[in-house]
Structure 1
Amino acid sequence: MGAAGNVSVIMTCHNEAAFIEQAIRSVTAQTAYGRVSEIIVVNDGSTDQSESILKGLAHEIGKLKILKASGIGPSAARNMALAEASGAFIAVLDGDDIWAPRKLELQLPRLESDDRIGLVYSDFYDFSDAGISDAKLFQVRRYAASDPNLLERFFVRGGPVIPSSTVYRREVFEKAGLFNTELRLAEDSDMVLRIAQDWSIQYVPGGLVYKRRHGRNASRDMAGWEAAAERVAELAMARVPRLAGLQARRKSYRHSKIASAYLSEGLNLEGWRYLLGALRLDPFNRRAYAIAVLALFPSGLRKGVSRWVKRVQAMAAGRGEPKVDEKRV
């Protein structure tokens, strides 16, 4: 186990020559960079200029270590980096994402404040261009160390817990195991569920990571994500049989999310099919009813109404707006 206070940053890179330097420099720009003991990047079979860029950065940045793999996938690449990591805390950053400057400064004290916490995570900005001019804040579901039903809640509702927003206590991997190499999608949700069996997870307010969007749409990715989500559920129920009693609610909640994604793209037939499926699985799914009401508004008004509803829900829950307003990178 690494020395207390040291942070190993693990990164994966697969044909991300256009982004990898910006990602690494967002680590070196951390206000708590002194807490970082090493930056381990697994170059996973890149065929672009990633290797030469990484070699150049390694000459400049003493903490940067480069490992080579041959297209083994994100989970196996993260496990490869974990095997080399020496820090007491493990922070994940994908090769095309960017950290806000105070990310570690804000997250590490919360992780260190309570030995029950195995993982901290935060909100994120979704963006597409290099200048981050189109970044949009997404506030994620907020779980706390004080929640006695964390595992059950996460099984039903999920996150998202964006990998690049996370910092782990090293011990969780010793007990929960490494990232599941069977999964090419949803491996992060699988890991959170395994951690939640024995540890707490803790939300830290604010958009502390910028997640790059690559122009994919819901209809293109949905089949793969749905299959992966079902496999994650199967694995969780095999480990914790009592979760099987929540499977209908879980599927209903997922179907309502899929419906929302389809409807937002104007794919109304697919959206309503999933929405009705959600209500058949769980007639008390309030999210599904809310989506159905929103779907009745003209498409041009839906986003504005949806934002207003979310704002009211946040205020009713006592959440308000994020406390942290990070400067754009």
Structure 2
Amino acid sequence: MGKLELVSVIVTTYKRANLISRAILSVLSQSYKHYEVLIVDDNPVGCIEKKETQAVVRKFLGQANIRYIDLQGNFGYALARNVGIRESKGKYIAFLDDDDEWLPHKLTEQVKCIQEDSSIGMVYCRSVNLKENGEIYKSNKKKLPSGYIFEKILAQDIIGATSKVLVRKSCIDLIGSLNELTPTRADHDFFLRISKKYKIGLVDEVLVNFYIEGNRLSRDFEKKLAGWKFFFASWEEELKKYPKAMKSQKFKFNYEIGKILFLKGETKKSKQFFKKAIALKPYMLKAYFLLFCSYLNISSNKIGLK
């Protein structure tokens, strides 16, 4: 490994006082010790969750290099992360959601990777989804790309979550921080802007644990729909240049919105989205399955859908 550079770890939290200790402890357990931790509290003033979060965080203050930033309101994850970025002092930025957990060598491996090539703007890694009892819920074993992979990220958000990445601060200074205007998909937009200018590095091993806590897929139909519209409008020109990426994203849009409606029990509405998804990718069996369940009014609980 090269020079020991400071990593700014931005932990954003909202209504998860019961989980944030695990996230913080996973940072304190890192083999790479040259870091600062910025805990950004996005809980509204006066709510019980803020008081509970402050009580938990208070136990860690004074350890390592931990700072607590109170936003005095609920402004959303994009703004919360951006505040952390503005307050950071490190050469590299890492993000950690309050319900996620890093493996002990996460920072060591990613810093090593990003230092090997100055043209790399961001490094990501593999992750695994776990149930609260530690049992594996889902693990992605597909081959993952690296390098100049803008088109691949445009077609499919292969990175997924900010808890998996390490980013050069100078890269963010150039491309800008997270877009606070988009209702959803701010992470994907952020990754796209980075990959358009920089190489993307990969540490090809599991370094992050995601814990499945009930239904992780938002059922807020209007918010999801608005986020997708914002995405298509923002990246319209690039999507036109890459028809395969456009087709892939249109499939994902129709499948995801259909799934949200299905989870809400609105099977009549979900059918039209699944039909459009199938027309785009007739070989995707999961769309056929949910369309079949929609016609039979089978509840999501009966098929174990989350």
The TM-score, its normalising length taken from structure 2, stands at: 0.79
Moved more, 248-257 or 168-177: 248-257
- The runs of 5 or more residues in structure 1 that have no matched partner are 304-329
Whether the aligned pair in 2 keeps the contact of 1:23 and 1:95 (CA below 8 Å) is yes
Aligned positions of 1:93-242 closer than 5 A:
93-129=96-132, 132-139=133-140, 143-147=144-148, 150-216=149-215, 218=217, 220-237=219-236, 240=238, 242=240
CA deviations over 1:271-308 (Å, ceiling 9, x no partner): 6533320243x3xx3653575389889x9xxx9xxxxx
- Are the aligned partners of 2:124 and 2:159 in contact in 1 as well (CA < 8 Å)? no
The residue correspondences of 1:8-87 to structure 2 (distance < 5 A) are 8-32=8-32, 34=33, 36-45=34-43, 47=47, 48=49, 49-59=52-62, 61-71=63-73, 72-87=75-90
In structure 2, C-alpha distance between the alignment counterparts of 1:7 and 1:93, rounded to whole Å: 12
Q: Which moved more, 1:172-181 or 1:117-126?
A: 117-126
Query: Shift in Å at residue 184 of structure 1?
Result: 4.1
Output the CA distance in 2 between the equivalents of 1:138 and 1:226.
27
Q: Is the 8 A contact 2:221 2:261 kept in 1?
A: no
Percent sequence identity over aligned pairs? 22
* 8 A contact 1:236–1:243 mirrored in 2: no
Shift of residue 87 of structure 1?
Answer: 1.1
1:307 paired residue number: none
| 8 Å CA contact retained: 1:123, 1:137 | no
Residue 275 (str. 1) matches residue 279 (str. 2): no
Unaligned runs of 5+ in 2: none
* Matches of 2:142 and 2:153, distance apart in 1: 9
Structure 1 residue 106, shift from structure 2 partner:
2.4
Greater percentage in helix:
1
Size of the aligned set, in residue pairs, is 289
Greater CA drift, 136-145 or 203-212 = 136-145
**Equivalent residue letter for 2:119:** R
C-alpha deviation, 1:223, in angstroms: 4.6
Distance 1:144 1:75 in 2: 26
What is the root-mean-square deviation of aligned Cα atoms in Å? 3.4
C-alpha contact (below 8 Å) 2:219/2:260 kept by paired residues = no
With normalisation by structure 1, the TM-score equals 0.74
Paired residue for 1:288?
284
Identify if the C-alpha distance between structure 1 residues 93 and 28 changes in structure 2 by more than 3 Å, giving closer, same or farther. Answer: same
The SS at the match of 1:197 is helix
What per-residue deviation string (whole Å, max 9, x for no partner) do you get for residues 30-62 of structure 1? Answer: 122x2x320111122353211122122103x13
Instruction: Judge conservation of contact 1:120–1:168 (CA < 8 Å) in 2.
Output: yes
Q: 1:141 to 1:182 in 2, by over 3 A?
A: farther
Q: Distance in 2 between matches of 1:166 and 1:173?
A: 13
Supply the AA of the counterpart residue of 1:39.
Answer: V
Alpha-carbon deviation of 1:158?
2.0
Equivalent-residue separation in structure 2 for 1:225 and 1:76 (angstroms): 18
Whole-Å Cα distance in 1 between the matches of residues 212 and 201 of structure 2?
25
Per-residue deviation, residues 66-112 of structure 1 (Å, max 9, x unmatched): 11112222111111111111111111001221111221222222222
SS at match of 2:235: helix
**What is the CA distance between 1:126 and its match in structure 2?**
2.2
CA distance in structure 2 between the aligned counterparts of 1:126 and 1:226, rounded to whole angstroms: 25
Asked whether the 8 Å contact 1:75–1:187 carries over to 2, the reply is yes
The alpha carbon displacement at 1:151 in A equals 2.0
